[in-house]
Structure formats: structure tokens, C-alpha cells
Amino acid sequence: MLHAPLLKGFLIFLVVAGVIVPLFYRARIGTVLGFLVAGVALGPHGFGRFAADHPWVHYVTFDNPQRGEPMAEFGIMMLLFLLGLELSFKRLWELRRYVLGVGLAQVVVTTLAIGLALRASGAVPPSGLVLGLCLALSSTAIVMQLLIEQGRAAELVGRVALSVLLLQDMMVVPIMFIVGLLVFGAKGDILQLILPFAEALGAVFAIMLVGRFVARPLVKSALQTGSRDLIMAITLLILVGFSVATAAAGLSVALGAFLAGLLLSESEAKHRIETDLEPFKGLMLGIFFITVGTSLDLAAVVHDIGWVLLGVVALMAVKAGILYGAARAFKVPRDTAIEVALLLAQGGEFAFVVLAQARTLVSPQLTSGAIAVVALTMLLTPLAALVARMLVRRGEEPAKAPA
């Protein structure tokens, strides 16, 4: 039997995707911001809060956004998978300066800066460290989708941004290890905290072996049959299987999806896979952006509007400044450094995961404020991208005038 509430939510999503979001696109604001705003407006903290007094509101709002989270996560997996298809191990190795240089410097310095700032403002240890760790990471889904919409994912700004985001994804295990150590270290077995590192390394090594000796031959044999259904079935098996493997090892599903794409980047079926998956990727990511919007509690934001806005400005300014400095230190051109800095200045969805695990380390008030700040910075990312483009273009005008 069909699940009526789930179908209702999907119907509302299709209306948003087919009617509301195109209006944002025509206004040259972008589809990402359209989905985010729709999530805020139609979520349980938006118009959904009036459902108790006006029953008809229930039929036009997302009363339970958690139902869409599996599809939203699948959209992120497909995004990273398709990005991996566009790269190769050779090209990824060429980006090592940005991954290990810009990415690592940004995460370390941002964590220290936020942690020290919160400690100086009176936050009780170790809340400063926890918030520094989770706020240092950015949103892969939002940033890369914006660059793909602009057709710039393969340009230098896209490659540098992807490099930093990949390093951030690889930092998931160390961050969860540190938070686990703070939460359970005093009474837990230290071996239980070290074990995730061994599992993560083992999972990556196993993925490489399976990809080399199993995944590629499977795709090649499916390609020889000429059946698009079989090719897609094998592709999805590899995509989901690798993502589950990295998730089971404590890494992000996005990293597993990216590795799956890398392993198939030299496959003869590469272009066919890209063509077939692209439309579904966009729809699934739309669900993800809507769920992000629904997480923003407008009442909580209004109640502490001063502190929340201060946190938004501070977070984006600090991260942008650190990203710009790190990029320039590793010889990224000035214009590209400006764009990357503003593109990655937001908080990321991983912050919600860290704050949920570390609720005994961070006060409820600070947790709710951090969630509001992260959600708002994610909402502001498309606007930050527009500002970055305007700044770069304005800087180019004087150089073009004499010609």
C-alpha cells in the first residue's frame, strides 16, 4: 500500500521543484537558494507551526522532514560520485598541494581560532574545542552544486574548493575520535576509541582492492551487454556499496561515493553513467536542501537574533579570512582565493552530527545557537557566491579597460 504522508511530502517537493525554484533560477539567484528558502517557509518551524490552528496548513507543509533524509543523503552520494567520475587518481594527486596544504591549514587554524574565541568569551571547556571542530567544516553539497550550476566545477576555483572539502571529509574520523574521547575517554577503553582509525584505513584499502579487481570488471561486463538497465544497476551497487563501507568504518558516505566515482573515472561507461544519473542527482539534492531549510527554527533565531547574527557574521568572516590566507600561502591566485574563501565560509551539515553526539559537552543554549548559525550560513552561501563573483569581476575591470 502506498504511504500517503510520504506521497504528500513528495508532491509538495515536486511543486517546489517545478514552480517555485524556477522563479529563483530565472532571477539568477540559483536553485539551491530556492530549495533552502522553500524548506524554511514550508517546514515545521515556518508555516507548519500554524497547522494546529489551521488544519489545511498540514496539507501544504513538510510536517515531518525526516522522512526525506534517506533520499537527501542519496543525493549527496550521487553528487560526490559524479565529481569523482570527473576526476582521476592522477588528477587527484596533482591536487595534493591544495588538499594537504590549503585544506589542512584551514581546518586546524579555524578550529583553534573558534575554540580560543569561545574560551575568551566565557564558554566552559571543552565546548570551545567541540564547536571549533564542527564549525571548521563546510557544506560539500551546497558548494559543489553551486559550482556545477555555474559550470565552474572543473575550473581552478572548483578544483581548490573540492580539494578543501575532500580534506574536510577525511577529517570526519579524527573529529569524531576527539569528541568520543572527550565524552567517553574518562570511563571508556582507549582501544575502543583507537579502533575507528584502523577500521577507516582498512575500509579505504579494501575499497581500492574491490574497485580494482571487482567493480571495474563488473562495469566492463555490463557494458558489453549493451543493457543500460544492467549498467545502471551495477553502478548503483558500487556507489551504495562503497558508501556503506566507508560509513561502517566511521567515514562519511560522501567519501565512499567519491572513491567509487574515482575508481570508475577511466571506465568506458563513464559518460553514459553521467548522463543517466545527472537528473536524479539534482532532484535528490533538492530534497537535501529542503531538509536543511526545515531545520532552521525561526522562533529561536528571533529570540536570540542579536547573538545569532553576530555568530553568523563572525563565523563567515573568520572562515573566509583563514581560507583566503591559506589559499594565498599555497600560491592560489588572488581572485580564486577570494571566491574559495567566500564559498566555503559557511558551516556544514556535519555540525549537526557532532552537536548531537556532544550534547553533554555543550550547553543547550549554545547548541541551539550553533545550529541556528550553521543553518543561516548555509542559507547565505548562494548570496556569498554572488558577492564573490561581483568582487572578482570588479577587480578585473580596470585591467580590461586599457585594451
**Taking the CB of residue 297, how many other CB atoms lie within 10 A of it?**
19
Helix pair angle (270-294, 4-15), 10° resolution: 100
pLDDT of 303 reads 80
Q: What is the mean pLDDT of residues 173-178?
A: 73
Read off the pLDDT of residues 246-271 as tens digits, 9 standing for 90 and up. 877 766 777 788 888 888 887 778 88
Is residue 399 situated within a structural domain?
no
Cα–Cα distance measured from residue 89 to residue 91, given in angstroms and rounded to the nearest whole number: 6
Please report, as a single letter, which amino acid is at residue 112: L
Q: What is the DSSP letter of 29?
A: S
Q: Which pLDDT band, with edges at 50, 70 and 90, does 312 fall under?
A: very high
pLDDT confidence band for 403 (50 / 70 / 90): very low
- The span from the CA of 105 to the CA of 273, in Å, is 35
What per-residue confidence (pLDDT) applies to 28? 65
Instruction: Quote the pLDDT of residue 186.
Output: 46
Helix (H, G, I), strand (E, B) or coil at 64: coil
The tens digit of pLDDT for each residue in 6-26 reads 677 778 888 887 777 777 777
Which of 149-153, 161-165, 323-327 is predicted with the least confidence, judged by mean pLDDT? 149-153
What is the domain count for the chain?
Answer: 1
Q: Is residue 195 part of a domain?
A: yes
Dist. CA 72–CA 352, nearest whole Å: 15
pLDDT of residue 4: 61
User: How remote is the C-alpha of 350 from its chain's centroid?
Assistant: 8
Evaluate whether 296 touches 40 at the Cβ level (below 8 Å): yes
Q: Give the side-chain half-sphere CA count within 13 A for 344.
A: 36
Query: How do residues 41-88 score in pLDDT, each as one tens digit?
Result: 888 888 888 887 888 888 888 877 777 777 777 877 887 788 788 777
Whether the pLDDT of residue 398 is over 70: the answer is no
Dihedral sign for Cα 321, 327, 328, 330, please: positive
Q: What is the pLDDT of residue 114?
A: 93
CB atoms within 10 A of CB 261: 28
Query: Cell triple for residue 320?
Result: 573566509
Q: Which of 378, 215, 226 is nearest to 296 (CA)?
A: 378
Measured in whole angstroms, the distance separating CA 175 from the mean position of its chain's CA atoms is 16
> Domain of 209?
6-394
Q: Residue 1 domain-assigned? A: no
Please state, rounded to an integer, the average pLDDT across all residues of the chain: 81
pLDDT at 1 over 60: no
pLDDT band at 322 (very low <50, low <70, confident <90, very high): very high
Does residue 157 carry a pLDDT above 70? yes
Residue 295 inside a domain? The answer is yes
Helix (H/G/I), strand (E/B), else coil: 148 = helix
384 domain residue, yes or no: yes
118 pLDDT above the threshold of 80: yes
Least confident of 247-256, 313-322, 391-400: 391-400
pLDDT at 185: 54
On the CB side of 268, CA atoms within 13 Å amount to 9
Q: What is the CATH number of the domain that holds 90?
A: 1.20.1530.20
Residue 333 phi/psi, 5-degree rounding, is -55, 150
Residue 340 pLDDT: 95
In a domain, 162, yes or no: yes
Q: Is 330 within the bounds of a domain? A: yes
Determine the 3-state secondary structure of 87 from DSSP: coil
Q: How many residues does the chain have?
A: 403
Residue 401 in any domain: the answer is no
State how far the alpha carbon of 29 is from the alpha carbons of 4, 57, 67, 198, 293, in Å: 33, 28, 28, 44, 16
Max Cα–Cα distance, the chain, nearest Å: 70
Statement: residue 170 has pLDDT above 80: no
Name every residue whose Cβ is closer than 8 Å to that of residue 23 and which is 6 or more positions away in sequence.
34
The pLDDT of residue 288: 78
**What grid cell was written down for 217?**
570488471
pLDDT for residue 226:
79
> What is the distance between the alpha carbons of residues 283 and 367, in angstroms, rounded to a whole number?
31
Is the pLDDT reported for residue 172 higher than 60?
Answer: yes
Alpha carbons within 13 angstroms on the beta-carbon side of residue 157 total 24
Query: Quick one: pLDDT band at residue 213, thresholds 50, 70, 90?
Result: confident
